[in-house]
Amino acid sequence: MESAHLAVDPAFSVAAVDRRLFGSFVEHMGRCVYTGIFEPGHPAADDDGLRTDVLALTRELGVTLVRYPGGNFVSGYRWEDGIGPVGERPRRLDLAWRTIETNAFGLNEFMTWAGRAGVEPMMAVNLGTRGVAEAAELVEYCNLPSGTAAADLRRKHGVAQPHDIRLWCLGNEMDGPWQTGSLTAYEYGRLAARAGHAMRKVDPSIELVACGSSNSSMPTFAAWEATVLEQAYDQVDYLSLHQYYDPDKTDPASFRASAVDLDGFIDAVIATADHVRAKLRRPKRIKLALDEWNVWYQTRFTEPEDRPIAEEPFRLIEDDYTVTDAVVVGNLLISMLRHADRLTVGAQAQLANIIAPIRTEPGGPAWRQTIFHPFAITAGLARGTVLRTAVTGPLMATGEFGDVPALDSVAVHDAERGELVLFVVNRGTEAVPMQLDLRSFRGLEIADHISISDPDPAARNSVAEPDRVTPRRTAGPALDGGTATVLLPPVSWHALRCTVPPKE
């Protein structure tokens, strides 16, 4: 059994953790909204039709931000359809998912839900089939107190105070040929710049996210980012990244090492953004928003264009997640934390039912999928400053990346709370004893050890067995001279919470 060594030192810091990193995503797609977060008549629904069981799980998950209303859906969405008296709202054909959108749940319902969930909204504007005027008017409706047509319309709809939405997405995946109204990089960059300029005329305090490539395998990847930023650099604060990892698309070892790919993707986008910054001679550095990411069994998903139009919410990509999937999600979160100096917004796609940590049954229960647990634990414990870790240990062979480290880790140090948390993953198929070297933190104690693993890495949670896979919490090993050894089972994720004396 090959051993490993992990050392961490407070001097090697990355950046403070931005709480926006632990975001999620709600799209009008499948059962994410209807019978997901919103189901009037459900036994757990409140007076506004919001499922309180899902609200409770959302708060437990630790979600800090939610992107809405899409996704592909937003590129055909008229935001005006989802405001005002529900009985007067139009039924529309959604071109993205070939469904009838009733608009029973719209902007103000979402903002009510966001308030009860305790999350910040991240609102997307339609730059697929609409444009500058509609985007600016939406900001006016949401953020101005009164005295204009749009602001007074919101007040007429019963919302006296502005929603005060700070973070806005300038469209969605505009490079994708599947996107309604897709554009070239130059076309989109000019449109994003014009829309952003108008939106900031309404509210100068908002933050704007430009669309990056739909994923890193797009043929225009990096060239798209560079061209868009050359046109819109002065108007935007963030560039988006979208990335999904499919267990069926590659060999098992490469899937378990998906974070290697995410590391490279993030580094490439940072390099591209900084190239444009140098070219334009701008002092501002563009930050990144990984506002769609997850494990997704995408090769199993087919969406025939001739599928009959759905009149009611239907089950769409409701993947059942395994222990292995949870370990990969935990590792992706490690990668995100490792880039905390530039990656400051995240949104796991999606919150309920659609490739989601939370599953529901219409009229029935809601439960936690396996991927719920590493997200909730990381969101709860990752407070403070990210620290680099130095890890040595066994390698594992992968088909896509060659030999990669079997172990991956990051640390977060909260000096005010006196805590150090180590997030560690063993993505190999052999157990590894790991020696922790924490001598740089005097008086340290390992308070507890939370882990996710199972003798069956394919184990899942379900409506019948909602707690088949849950985190295991044990007392941490005692430190001897600042060191201790922890056994990491194969295909496992870990959070070691240590108490650290506060700064003098």
* DSSP letter string, 338-355: HTTTTEEEEEEE-SBSSS
Calculate the dihedral angle through the C-alpha atoms of 466, 471, 473, 477, rounding to the nearest 10 degrees.
160
- Tell me which residue of 218, 221, 219, 235 sits closest to 280, measured CA to CA: 235
Which of 39, 101, 109, 292 is an active site residue?
292
Three-state SS string over 237-257 comes to: CEEEEEEEECCCCCCHHHHHC
Considering only residues 2 and 200, tell me which one the structure prediction assigns the higher pLDDT. Answer: 200
Q: What's the confidence (pLDDT) of residue 94?
A: 95
162: preceding bond cis by omega (within 30 degrees): no
pLDDT of 312 higher than 90: no
The answer to whether 4-11+385-499 and 18-381 have equal CATH topology is no
pLDDT of 63 higher than 60: yes
Q: What's the confidence (pLDDT) of residue 313?
A: 87
Edge-to-edge strand order for the sheet containing 385-392?
472-474, 445-452, 492-499, 419-426, 407-414, 385-392, 4-16, 432-437, 483-488
Q: Any idea where the domains of the chain sit in the sequence?
A: 4-11+385-499, 18-381
Which of 101, 137, 140, 173 is an active site residue?
173
Considering only residues 244 and 416, tell me which one the structure prediction assigns the higher pLDDT. Answer: 244
Three-state SS string over 142-199 comes to: HHCCCCCHHHHHHHHCCCCCCCCCCEEEECCCCCCCCCCCCCCHHHHHHHHHHHHHHH
> Could you tell me where the beta strands, DSSP code E, fall in 311-431?
343-349, 358-360, 366-368, 385-392, 395-398, 402-405, 407-414, 419-426
What is the band of 503 on the pLDDT scale with cuts at 50, 70, 90?
low
Q: What's the confidence (pLDDT) of residue 82?
A: 97
Pairing of strands 207-210, 402-405: unpaired
Q: Are 404 and 398 in contact (CB under 8 A)?
A: yes
Distance CA 275, CA 501 (A): 42
Distance CA 91, CA 67 (A): 23
Q: What is the DSSP-derived secondary structure letter of residue 200? A: H
- What percent of the chain shows pLDDT beyond 70? 99
Tens of pLDDT, residue by residue over 65-119, are 999 999 999 999 999 999 999 999 999 999 999 999 999 999 999 999 999 999 9
**Helix, strand or coil for residue 432?**
strand
215 has which bridge partners? none
Tens of pLDDT, residue by residue over 218-274, are 999 999 999 999 999 999 999 999 999 999 999 999 999 999 999 999 999 999 999
Tens of pLDDT, residue by residue over 274-295, are 999 999 999 999 999 999 999 9
Known active-site residue 292: yes
Q: Which residue bears the tokens 């504007």?
A: 125
What is the band of 310 on the pLDDT scale with cuts at 50, 70, 90?
confident
pLDDT of 167 higher than 70: yes
* DSSP letter string, 22-88: SEEE--SSTTSTBTTTB-TT-TTB-TTSBBHHHHHHHHHHT--EEEES-SGGGGG--GGGGSS-GGG
- Tell me which residue of 75, 154, 161, 163 sits closest to 120, measured CA to CA: 163
Q: Are 50 and 112 in contact (CB under 8 A)?
A: yes
Q: What is the DSSP-derived secondary structure letter of residue 104? A: S
Backbone angles phi, psi at 198, to 5 degrees: -65, -40
Q: Are 367 and 359 in contact (CB under 8 A)?
A: yes
Backbone angles phi, psi at 88, to 5 degrees: -100, 0
pLDDT of 504 higher than 60: no
Distance CA 205, CA 465 (A): 47
71: preceding bond cis by omega (within 30 degrees): yes
Tens of pLDDT, residue by residue over 441-475, are 988 899 999 999 999 999 999 999 999 999 999 98
350: preceding bond cis by omega (within 30 degrees): yes
pLDDT of 304 higher than 70: no
Average pLDDT of the segment spanning 401-427: 96
What is the band of 163 on the pLDDT scale with cuts at 50, 70, 90?
very high
Distance CA 158, CA 166 (A): 21
Least confident of 199-203, 298-302, 333-337, 412-416: 298-302
Q: What is the DSSP-derived secondary structure letter of residue 477? A: P
Tens of pLDDT, residue by residue over 357-403, are 999 999 999 999 999 999 999 999 999 999 999 999 999 999 999 99
User: pTM of this prediction?
Assistant: 0.96
Distance CA 201, CA 196 (A): 9
CATH number belonging to domain 4-11+385-499: 2.60.40.1180
**Helix, strand or coil for residue 221?**
coil
Known active-site residue 134: no
Looking at domain 18-381, its CATH class is alpha beta
* DSSP letter string, 271-324: HHHHHHHHHHT-SPPPEEEEEEEEE--GGG----TTPPPBSS----S-PPPBHH
Q: Which helix (H) or strand (E) holds 262?
A: helix 258-280
Tokens of 234: 């002065």
Tokens of 495: 């959070």
Q: Are 122 and 99 in contact (CB under 8 A)?
A: no
- Tell me which residue of 327, 338, 243, 332 sits closest to 293, measured CA to CA: 243
